[in-house]
Amino acid sequence: MDNIVSLKNLVMNFEDGEQILHGINLDIKDKEFVTLLGPSGCGKTTTLRIIAGFLEPTSGDVFFDGRRINGVPPHKRNVNTVFQRYALFPHLNVYENIAFGLRVKKTPEKEVVRRVGEMLELVNLKGFEKRSVNHLSGGQQQRVAIARALVNRPKVLLLDEPLGALDLKLRKEMQVELRKIQQALELTFVYVTHDQEEALTMSDTVVVMNNGSIQQIGSPTDIYNEPVNAFVADFIGESNIVNGCMPRDFLVEFAGKRFECVDKGFSPNETVDVVIRPEDIKIIPAESAKLTGIVESVVFKGVHYEMIVDGVDHKWMIHSTKHAPVGTMIGMNFDPDDIHIMKKTEVDG
Ligand SMILES: Nc1ncnc2c1ncn2[C@@H]1O[C@H](COP(=O)(O)OP(=O)(O)O)[C@@H](O)[C@H]1O
Ligand SMILES: [Mg+2]
């Protein structure tokens, strides 16, 4: 598959001199669903605006279909954007909101009718043509915004937290619908969210960002199972992160004990971050455990219990279908391949 969008060494300095992007390199494949994921303020929207052409990078290049497009104005890029605030035209009805981009291009009336019809079908709004957009629900307004962005048939759709204003149930439904639309039309979607679950469920590729830099690029399973550093591990799902060191290959020391692990290639006694997922910790009898702690809290989360266990020098979070009462001493155990060893990196946040 060919790259449809490539970003090379993008640097963005705003006028106050602050550097917001520190050299972004990213290849986006044709027909791919790519999500930029990271905490608020990490530079997701800035990156998207550079792809759209609303913002020129301080340095670095943007390629579209192999062609450098720095300086090409937004309306001449084969790209369209859907924003969180839908910015529909309040004085136009549903039909005319969707038709807007075609009218600007002086598209013949017959073709407008056909293409708006296709879009209404695509986003499930047939019968709503004459409605004022002010009388639609949030979810319906977002559908109009998506139809309006797609009617000109861009090759790439940029979506900036498009579901952020919807309640949880509607958001889940729209996630499924957006994915269907992307696959049906064989489009490239570049999606921005700070919601890790949304990113993992929708995307082919997740790009984890922090402080203006890309931390990791990978499939949802790669990102979840093999986070490259403590920031990614912590941001993608809850994790236990403790300081440790590697006495030798396949052996890690933390919480005052040594454990077999599957990692190698560290210098002797190198200090590392040790990451263990809450769902990978098994509760065993305290007598037979290397690691013990006192149960501090238990909360039922619907499918599992979430327990905080005080292990003296570290509090452990455990997700398990079994639980032990508050105040009891339990043992904790994990398999060698559930221990993830990460090189120490300069991480904040
Ligand atoms: N026009 C601007 N001038 C100065 N700083 C800006 C401007 N736009 C965004 N920023 C800053 O850039 C950083 C990244 O912003 P943004 O890309 O919107 O992050 P995100 O979308 O990941 O939340 C933030 O610290 C924000 O305050
Ligand atoms: Mg943003």
Tokens of 320: 């398990």
**pLDDT given at position 345:** 67
159 neighbors 192 (Cβ within 8 angstroms): yes
Judged against a pLDDT cut of 90, whether residue 85 lies above it is answered with no
How far apart are the CA of 157 and the centre of ligand 2, in A? 16
In the chain, CATH 2.40.50.100 sits at 239-281+334-349
In the chain, CATH 2.40.50.140 sits at 283-333
239-281+334-349: CATH topology is OB fold (Dihydrolipoamide Acetyltransferase, E2P) (2.40.50)
Give the ligand whose atoms come closest to the C-alpha of residue 161: 2
**pLDDT given at position 312:** 81
Q: Is 192 helix (H, G, I), strand (E, B) or coil?
A: strand
89 neighbors 26 (Cβ within 8 angstroms): no
**pLDDT given at position 346:** 52
Q: Best of 40, 45, 56, 213 to mutate for ligand 1, by most ligand atoms within 8 A of CB?
A: 45
75-84, 208-217, 229-238, 261-270: which has the highest mean pLDDT?
208-217
**pLDDT given at position 1:** 58
**pLDDT given at position 167:** 84
Question: Once rounded to an integer, what is the mean pLDDT over residues 272-278?
Answer: 92
Judged against a pLDDT cut of 50, whether residue 104 lies above it is answered with yes
Place of tokens 């469920």: 201
Question: Once rounded to an integer, what is the mean pLDDT over residues 98-121?
Answer: 95
Residues with CB under 5 A from ligand 2 (ion): 45
Percent of the chain with pLDDT over 70: 98
> Which ligand 1 atom minimizes the distance to the CA of 43?
17
> How many CB atoms sit inside 10 A of residue 245's CB?
17
Give the ligand whose atoms come closest to the C-alpha of residue 21: 1
Judged against a pLDDT cut of 90, whether residue 17 lies above it is answered with no
Judged against a pLDDT cut of 50, whether residue 273 lies above it is answered with yes
In the chain, CATH 3.40.50.300 sits at 3-230
Judged against a pLDDT cut of 90, whether residue 343 lies above it is answered with no
d(CA 11, CA 60): 6
Q: Which residues pair with 93 in a beta bridge?
A: 132
Question: Once rounded to an integer, what is the mean pLDDT over residues 338-343?
Answer: 90
Architecture per CATH, domain 3-230, reads as: 3-Layer(aba) Sandwich (3.40)
Tokens of 94: 């549903």
Q: Best of 20, 158, 214 to mutate for ligand 1, by most ligand atoms within 8 A of CB?
A: 20
**pLDDT given at position 348:** 41
Task: Mention every residue, 6+ apart, whose C-beta is less than 8 A from residue 156.
Answer: 4, 5, 28, 51, 64, 78, 79, 80, 187, 188, 189, 190
> Which ligand 1 atom minimizes the distance to the CA of 47?
17
314 neighbors 244 (Cβ within 8 angstroms): no
**pLDDT given at position 349:** 36
How far apart are the CA of 5 and the centre of ligand 1, in A? 22
Q: Which residues pair with 18 in a beta bridge?
A: none
Query: How many whole angstroms from its chain centre is CA 143?
Result: 21
Q: Best of 18, 35, 37, 46 to mutate for ligand 1, by most ligand atoms within 8 A of CB?
A: 46
How far apart are the CA of 219 and the centre of ligand 1, in A? 26
Segment 328-340, tens digit of pLDDT: 999 999 999 999 9
Average pLDDT, the chain: 93
pTM surpassing 0.95?
A: no
Atom 25, ligand 1: residue with shortest CA distance: 41
How far apart are the CA of 187 and the centre of ligand 2, in A? 22
Segment 151-192, tens digit of pLDDT: 999 999 999 999 988 888 888 999 999 999 999 999 999 999
283-333 CATH, one of 3.30.930.10, 3.40.47.10, 3.40.1670.10, 2.40.50.140: 2.40.50.140
Segment 50-68, tens digit of pLDDT: 999 999 999 999 999 999 9
Give the binding-site residues of ligand 1, using a 6 Å CB cut-off. 14, 16, 20, 38, 40-46
Atom 3, ligand 1: residue with shortest CA distance: 14
Burial state string for 300-338 with b = 16 or more CB within 10 A and e = fewer than 16: eeeebbbbbbebeebebbbbbeebbeeeeebbbbbeeeb
d(CA 12, CA 175): 30
